[in-house]
């Protein structure tokens, strides 16, 4: 009986709507008027007007969906959506814009796949409407697929010419707002410009106001946030996204009462407003206040149990807080309800890949290393993690509580998933919540990645985030990490290079008060690198001028919720601007003498001298051939020029005039000894001494290079083998120990280090090295087992020695040394 009724009902509505749509489409004038009411916040008026119009017009229905949803009237919204969708199903929607409305309805009914399919269909009907692309792009944004969304918004902008005879929900300005969001979602530059364009096209675009507000809140630009909110609410005092952001504004400023009051106001409009709490959660998440983010997401779900995006974000936040089981359970539900959320899918995939990770615990960490490298990395990673945390805890006089999860990913993409949605964390490592995640050495090319210094950097974050209750601004925690890296080991971390000096010369450094945006929204990869270096230098400047205690005191003050200005006044007794002024002066003193020496020489462009780019791999070698006489002439006019010295030295070397090249290269090194990439003067000098067989000089220059940048393992290997030849095994071992922080997965290094340890009776360390050696599948398995057996024997582990000597003989039964060792083991 029920079934029959249902059929009857469906038929009658579709019949009614068919008649309606043919006979009475709502006049464009009415729709435009309604849209204006909505723009001005006269929502009741808008709804009344719509209800007087034909309920078979797709735009009338769509606007009713928006209006009812705004107030949390879900059942009504659903019923309008179904009606709208049935217009499409009965073949009554023909224009691109009309079909787009049906797609929107399908989306509201959580029929995401259908929505996407109908959007595609709508986009194929000419003329296409911009409005369609705006809705479609927004669907992709909701699914955290910012890359696809960007393409869709760009298509919309290209399709600009929609006919004026029809009604359209959105204009091109809305496509620019979407584009800004999509770019921001990918942490790509251009969002600000896109927003400006949107407001240029339509100064009343309230979504643009809202987005600007959220950016300002993220940056703690309270003044700016307030201005956007005020301006926007003046145009529409009931615009929900802005009211929600006003709540967030008060919340993150710590104005609890104002927050409570505004929250009540929003909930009065829509008691089921999950968006309010999801917005708060997202902002907390981006500020890396994960506990608070999780609470907000829970509240969002309580208000609106169908807010699947909040569910997914809750699951991810819990994982980041180290609550793996609960997080996974929630994500599985989120996936079942919405399999199109990219973050859910990627995170679940990542969790699956954990099966291939080896887990173990150290006093402060729950560690995860990939099975293919776990044995090799474990001793160094565990030792360094504990040592760095202990050092930093003592230095900052602060103990972190509880255990942290430490993960190393051989696949950079997995690392990227782990840090998804967190601004500016794409580099090599990241610390958030209870997680420290970073690339493993095999995720990067050899000689490019000092994982030891990255690990130290991350653990400095652990301490500074904990000490400041997670409230330290990005620039400051990054600056401290950069500073600490440099103190962790000789040559660790980043030093002054050509790129930074040039950025200084070109006035690309940000004022201190804006430095945070250099991390949150860098204009380019280079801008981010510069921001890091600048932040590190500022911290070192503070330590030298105000004492190390000032750094710790500032962290504590941030932890109490003070603003940057307040912290500076309280701890340093000066404003942000004053300190910036002092820092600039210091920087000028250091860099000024360098500027003229690092100028592009007259008559030469740097591109011509160094086509690969200065400071890039192969900067010296790849230069186009320039006539030596011309170069010499230029050099005579500017003998202190870094580039001419380097270029001249490189070219003389290439011409086989090695001895003549040396003074020029030494001169370049004298000017900027910290420029130590491949192609730097160190590199060319090394090649010269190799070619000419000047061993002492060779060792000396390799040592200088290694101390400036302990990155290129061949330097340490060559030094170690020379030292070993000179019967200095302990010194040799030190170099190979340092190699482990850059290039720990080469079996031979472990074998050599084990051999050295045995020479001076460090038998336990020898056992460690041979164990790693064996785990890296060396070519000669018999020898590997034998070496380990020998080390075990010398360390007193006879049983272990016996096992390995037998394994060795199993592979090579006639192995004489192994037989001898076995005899020894049996006899004694």
Considering the complex, state which of residue 308 and residue 478 has its C-beta at the smaller distance from Zn ion: 478
Q: Which of residues 318-357 bind Zn ion (CB under 5 A)?
A: none
Considering the complex, state which of residue 270 and residue 481 has its C-beta at the smaller distance from Zn ion: 481
Considering the complex, state which of residue 478 and residue 743 has its C-beta at the smaller distance from Zn ion: 478
Query: Residue 70 is encoded by which pair of tokens?
Result: 């705004």
Query: How far apart are CB 427 and Zn ion at their closest, in Å?
Result: 7
Using the rule CB under 5 A, give the single segment among 277-285, 394-402, 481-489, 724-732 that binds Zn ion.
481-489
Position 502 contacts Zn ion (CB under 5 A): no
- The count of residues interacting with Zn ion (CB under 5 A) is 2
Whether the Cβ atoms of residue 631 and residue 651 lie closer than 8 Å to each other: yes
Position 388 contacts Zn ion (CB under 5 A): no
Residue among 98, 77, 78 nearest 88 (CA): 98
Q: Which of residues 439-478 bind Zn ion (CB under 5 A)?
A: 478
Whether the Cβ atoms of residue 790 and residue 825 lie closer than 8 Å to each other: no
Whether the Cβ atoms of residue 343 and residue 144 lie closer than 8 Å to each other: yes
**Any alpha helices (H) in 159-221, and if so which ranges?**
172-185, 191-201, 206-218
Using the rule CB under 5 A, give the single segment among 62-70, 360-368, 479-487, 724-732 that binds Zn ion.
479-487
Query: How far apart are CB 457 and Zn ion at their closest, in Å?
Result: 5
Considering the complex, state which of residue 343 and residue 432 has its C-beta at the smaller distance from Zn ion: 432
For 624, other C-beta atoms within 10 Å of its C-beta total 9
Considering the complex, state which of residue 457 and residue 718 has its C-beta at the smaller distance from Zn ion: 457
CA–CA gap between residue 87 and residue 13 (Å, rounded):
9
Considering the complex, state which of residue 83 and residue 450 has its C-beta at the smaller distance from Zn ion: 450
The residue with tokens 């020695």 is 801
> DSSP readout, 701-762?
HHHHHHHH-TT-HHHHHHHHHHHHHTT-HHHHHHHHHHHTTT-TT-HHHHHHHHHHHHHTT-
Query: How far apart are CB 665 and Zn ion at their closest, in Å?
Result: 34
Query: How far apart are CB 502 and Zn ion at their closest, in Å?
Result: 23
Query: How far apart are CB 285 and Zn ion at their closest, in Å?
Result: 17
Query: How far apart are CB 528 and Zn ion at their closest, in Å?
Result: 11
Query: How far apart are CB 519 and Zn ion at their closest, in Å?
Result: 9
Considering the complex, state which of residue 195 and residue 462 has its C-beta at the smaller distance from Zn ion: 462
Residue 709 class from Cβ within 10 Å (0-12 exposed, 13-18 middle, 19+ buried)? buried
Position 481 contacts Zn ion (CB under 5 A): yes
Query: How far apart are CB 540 and Zn ion at their closest, in Å?
Result: 16
Q: Which of residues 278-307 bind Zn ion (CB under 5 A)?
A: none
CA–CA gap between residue 729 and residue 13 (Å, rounded):
90
Distance separating the N- and C-terminal Cα atoms of the chain = 94
Considering the complex, state which of residue 232 and residue 424 has its C-beta at the smaller distance from Zn ion: 424
Q: Which of residues 675-734 bind Zn ion (CB under 5 A)?
A: none
Considering the complex, state which of residue 197 and residue 457 has its C-beta at the smaller distance from Zn ion: 457
- The edge-to-edge listing of strands for the beta sheet with 404-409 is 357-361, 365-370, 404-409, 435-439, 429-432
Bond preceding residue 127 cis, omega within 30 of 0: yes
CA dihedral 223, 228, 232, 234 (to 10 degrees): 30
Using the rule CB under 5 A, give the single segment among 13-21, 480-488, 615-623, 712-720 that binds Zn ion.
480-488
Q: Give me the 235-254 binding string for Zn ion, x by CB under 5 A, dash otherwise.
A: --------------------
On the CB side of 359, CA atoms within 13 Å amount to: 6
Whether the Cβ atoms of residue 558 and residue 473 lie closer than 8 Å to each other: yes
Query: How far apart are CB 494 and Zn ion at their closest, in Å?
Result: 12
Considering the complex, state which of residue 98 and residue 478 has its C-beta at the smaller distance from Zn ion: 478
Query: How far apart are CB 481 and Zn ion at their closest, in Å?
Result: 5
Site residues, Zn ion (CB under 5 A): 478, 481
């Amino acid at each position: 009986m029920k079934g029959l009724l249902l059929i009857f009902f469906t038929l009658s509505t579709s019949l009614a709507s068919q008649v309606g749509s043919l006979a009475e489409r709502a006049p464009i004038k009415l729709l435009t008027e309604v849209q204006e009411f909505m723009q001005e916040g006269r929502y009741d008026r808008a709804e009344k007007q719509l209800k007087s119009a034909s309920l078979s017009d797709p735009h009338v229905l769509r606007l009713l969906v928006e209006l009812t949803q705004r107030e949390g009237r879900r059942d009504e919204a659903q019923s309008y959506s179904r009606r709208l969708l049935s217009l499409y199903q009965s073949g009554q929607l023909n224009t691109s814009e009309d079909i787009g409305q049906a797609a929107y309805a399908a989306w509201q009914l959580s029929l995401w796949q259908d929505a996407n399919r109908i959007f595609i269909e709508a986009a194929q009907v000419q003329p296409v409407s911009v409005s369609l692309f705006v809705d479609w792009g927004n669907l992709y944004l909701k699914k955290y697929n910012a890359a696809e969304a960007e393409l869709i918004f760009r298509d919309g902008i290209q399709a600009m010419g929609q006919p004026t005879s029809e009604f359209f929900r959105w204009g091109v300005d809305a496509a620019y707002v979407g584009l800004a969001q999509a770019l921001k979602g990918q942490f790509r530059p251009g969002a600000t410009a896109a927003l400006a364009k949107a407001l240029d096209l339509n100064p009343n675009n309230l979504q643009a106001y809202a987005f600007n507000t959220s950016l300002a809140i993220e940056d703690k630009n309270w003044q700016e946030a307030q201005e956007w909110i005020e301006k926007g609410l003046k145009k529409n005092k009931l615009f929900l996204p802005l009211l929600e952001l006003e709540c967030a504004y008060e919340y993150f400023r710590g104005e609890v009462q104002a927050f409570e009051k505004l929250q009540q106001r929003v909930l009065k409009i829509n008691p089921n407003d999950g968006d309010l709490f999801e917005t708060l959660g997202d902002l907390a998440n981006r500020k890396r206040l994960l506990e608070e983010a999780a609470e907000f997401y829970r509240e969002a779900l309580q208000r609106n149990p169908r807010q699947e995006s909040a569910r997914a974000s809750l699951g991810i936040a819990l994982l980041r807080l180290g609550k793996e089981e609960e997080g996974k359970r929630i994500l599985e539900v989120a996936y079942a309800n919405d399999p199109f959320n990219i973050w859910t899918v990627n995170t679940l995939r990542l969790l699956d890949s954990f099966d291939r990770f080896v887990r173990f615990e150290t006093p402060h960490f729950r560690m995860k290393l990939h099975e293919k490298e776990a044995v090799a990395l474990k001793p160094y990673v565990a030792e360094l993690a504990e040592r760095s945390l202990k050092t930093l805890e003592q230095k900052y006089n602060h103990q972190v509580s509880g255990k942290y999860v430490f993960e190393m990913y051989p696949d950079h993409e997995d690392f990227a998933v782990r840090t998804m949605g967190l601004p500016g964390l794409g580099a090599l490592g990241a610390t958030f919540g209870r997680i420290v995640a970073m690339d493993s050495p095999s995720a990067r090319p050899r000689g490019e990645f000092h994982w030891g210094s990255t690990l130290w950097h991350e653990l400095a974050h652990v301490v500074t985030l904990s000490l400041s209750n997670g409230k330290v601004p990005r620039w400051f925690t990054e600056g401290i990490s950069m500073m600490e890296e440099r103190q962790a080991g000789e040559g660790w971390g980043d030093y002054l290079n050509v790129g930074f000096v040039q950025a200084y010369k070109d006035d690309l450094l940000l004022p201190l008060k804006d430095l945070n945006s250099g991390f949150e929204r860098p204009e380019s990869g280079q801008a981010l690198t510069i921001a890091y270096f600048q932040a590190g230098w500022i911290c070192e400047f503070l330590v030298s001028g105000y004492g190390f205690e000032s750094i710790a005191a500032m962290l504590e003050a941030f932890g109490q919720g003070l603003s940057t200005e307040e912290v500076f006044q309280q701890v340093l007794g000066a404003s942000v601007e004053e300190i910036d002024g002092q820092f600039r002066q210091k920087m000028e003193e250091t860099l000024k003498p360098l500027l003229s020496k690092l100028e592009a020489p007259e008559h030469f462009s740097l591109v011509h001298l160094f086509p690969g780019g200065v400071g890039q791999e192969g900067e010296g070698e790849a230069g186009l051939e320039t006539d030596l006489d011309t170069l010499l002439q230029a050099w005579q006019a500017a003998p202190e020029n870094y580039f001419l010295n380097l270029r001249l030295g490189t070219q003389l070397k290439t011409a086989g005039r090695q001895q003549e090249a040396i003074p020029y290269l030494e001169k370049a090194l004298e000017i900027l000894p910290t420029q130590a990439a491949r192609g730097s003067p160190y590199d060319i000098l090394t090649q010269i001494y190799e070619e000419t067989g000047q061993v002492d000089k060779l060792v000396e220059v390799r040592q200088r290079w290694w101390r400036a940048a302990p990155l290129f393992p061949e330097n340490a290997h060559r030094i170690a083998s020379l030292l070993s030849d000179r019967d200095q095994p302990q010194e040799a071992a030190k170099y190979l120990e340092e190699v482990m922080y850059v290039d720990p997965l080469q079996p031979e290094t472990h074998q050599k280090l084990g051999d050295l340890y045995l020479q001076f009776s460090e038998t336990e360390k020898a056992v460690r090295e041979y164990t790693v050696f064996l785990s890296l599948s060396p070519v000669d398995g018999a020898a590997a087992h034998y070496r380990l057996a020998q080390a075990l024997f010398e360390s007193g582990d006879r049983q272990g020695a016996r096992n390995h000597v037998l394994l060795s003989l199993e592979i090579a039964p006639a192995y004489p040394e192994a037989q001898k060792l076995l005899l020894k083991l049996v006899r004694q």
